[in-house]
Amino acid sequence: MEERTNDATRKRPEGERVIDAPMVDIDLPKYISQLKSEESWLDNSRNSITVFKCDSMRIVLVGLHGGQVMQEHTAEGVISVQVLEGHIVFSARGEEKKLVPGNMVTLHEKIPHSVTAVIDSVFLLTMASKNRLA
């Protein structure tokens, strides 16, 4: 297996990091700190950092400011959402799940869902698929 890195960008100059290798060490507190220090978090409703990405799975750390909504959308793969900080409401199929640190929800592919942050929140989004993820 070839090691893959995520390239640095103008908005994330220190962004080069390993995102796929036989074993990837993910320091969540470090990434949460980075996420909250970036211009995208300071100036916008949310920010995210992909911490792992291969053909069949992606793990993304997402920060969402309180009162902000990720409008209804679908995912191509099965997802899990695990709250690390804050309080979110995850809505799907007419149900609302209130999630706080330590809570997690899973959802099968192509089911419309939305996320609302009650307060500033950080969650880990994992998406897996039998097919190649875009």
pLDDT along the chain (134 residues), means of 10: 57 70 95 95 95 94 98 96 98 98 97 98 94 67
Q: Is 107 exposed, middle or buried (0-12, 13-18, 19+ CB in 10 A)?
A: buried
CB-based contacts of 21, cutoff 8 Å, min separation 6? 1, 3, 4
CB 127 within 8 A of CB 77: yes
All domains of the chain in start order, with CATH: 4-128 (2.60.120.10)
Residue 72 gets which letter from DSSP? E
Residue 123: the pLDDT is 98
If residue 80 lies in a helix (H) or strand (E), which one and from where to where?
strand 78-92
Radius of gyration of the chain, Cα coordinates, nearest whole angstrom? 15
Q: What is the pTM of this model?
A: 0.89
What's the pLDDT at 100? Answer: 98
